[in-house]
Every structure is written in structure tokens, then in C-alpha cells.
Amino acid sequence: MIAAAVAGLLAGYGIAIPVGAVGAYLVAVTARTGWRTGAGAALGVATADGVYALLAVAGGSALVPLLTPVMTPLRWLSALVLVVLAVRAAAAAVRTHRAGRLATRDDGAATLTPARAYLTFLGITLLNPMTVIYFAALVLATGPAAPATPPARTAFVLAALLASATWQLLLATGGILLARTLTGPRGRLTTALASSTLITVLAVGLVTG
């Protein structure tokens, strides 16, 4: 159960740390509306990550007994998927950094309440299919070591939810400051590369551990 919780924390931070479009938007909304609205938005993002983690754990664990005969090649394939996701994220961050692009928008964020911010960010995060692909690949790649019991699954999902929530709340709390640092070209590059490195390390550990 402890191992599942640790795996959930690592998975949660791995998907939450890169400051992509949603993260940048979260920082901008917080800077313009205050911490309470930003916290509502942050919890919306974390809830979506928790939903995807739950779906991935339930689906991946159900498939394990059926896929045991081909588990080794699937483990390698899943690790490859994780590495590809990490490389794509890092490459995109490098391209954006070199191009010096930084999206800005006038989206009426000042009218958001904490509840509306929660629902808005829950919706836009649920629309991101890369999150469920990431969690599903990670869980499936662990094979027999994947969380298989209800307590282990619960620990994994709650830990992933906690990791995402703490990172998103950190972005919200430091909204004004982060708007000048992490959402800038260098900050976004650093966080994207850090997350890609973490995902790659997890993937390598799956096939060498």
C-alpha cells in the first residue's frame, strides 16, 4: 500500500509539474482574480487528474490477468510510450522556448467565482487525452506490480490526486510571482524538462527494476 502511494505521488507530480497551457492559464487567472478563485481552479485540475488516475488504475489492473502471457513485451511497449511522451513534451518546450512564443488572452477571468473556476478547469483538463494515456501506460507497464487490491488502488489514486492538488495550489498561491517566472519562456522550459526527466526515469525503472 505504501509502494502504491509512492507510485501515485510520483505519477501525480510527473503529469502535474509541466506548466503547459492549463497551468499558464491557472497562474494568469489567479493573478487577476485572487487566491480563492485560483484555488478553485487548481482543485478542478487536480480532480480531473484524480478521475483519470482512477480510470487508469481500474482498467489497467483488470487487464493484467488477461495479458500475463505477453506482459514482458507490453512492459517494454508501455515504457516506450512513456519515453515518447516525455521526449515530445521536452521537444515542444524547446521549440516554444526558441521561438519565444507566449500565449496571452483576454478571457474574462475577472468574472470567475471559485465554483465557476473549479468547473471550468475541471472541464478543460478532462478534455486532455494525454493525461489518461500517461496514467494508463504507467499502470499497465508495471504489470503484476500494479495496484491490484482496493486499498492499493485507493492509495495510488489519492496520492496522485494529492500530488496534483499540491502542485496546482502552489501555482495558484504564487500566481502573481509565477506569472513572471514559470510562465515565462525559461520557466516553462525548465518545468517541462524536469517533468520529462521524471517520466523517463520512471519508464526506465519499469524495465530495469
Q: What is the CA radius of gyration of the chain?
A: 17
The distance from CA 170 to its chain's CA centroid, rounded to whole angstroms, is 14
- Cα distance between residue 12 and residue 96, in whole Å: 24
Please list, in sequence order, all residues whose beta carbon lies within 8 angstroms of the beta carbon of residue 21, skipping any fewer than 6 positions away: 103
Q: Which of the pair, 12 or 105, is modelled with greater confidence?
A: 12
In this structure, how many other beta carbons lie within 10 angstroms of the beta carbon of residue 22? 21
Please list, in sequence order, all residues whose beta carbon lies within 8 angstroms of the beta carbon of residue 50, skipping any fewer than 6 positions away: 157, 158, 160, 161, 164
In this structure, how many other beta carbons lie within 10 angstroms of the beta carbon of residue 86? 24
Average pLDDT over residues 64-79: 67
- Cα distance between residue 133 and residue 128, in whole Å: 10
Please list, in sequence order, all residues whose beta carbon lies within 8 angstroms of the beta carbon of residue 7, skipping any fewer than 6 positions away: 142, 147, 156, 159
| C-alpha cell recorded at residue 49 | 487528474
Average per-residue pLDDT for the chain: 75
Q: Which of the pair, 166 or 140, is modelled with greater confidence?
A: 166
Confidence class of residue 95 from pLDDT cuts 50, 70 and 90? confident
Residue length of the chain: 209
For residue range 13-32, list pLDDT tens digits in order.
887 887 666 777 787 778 77
- pTM, rounded to two decimals: 0.66
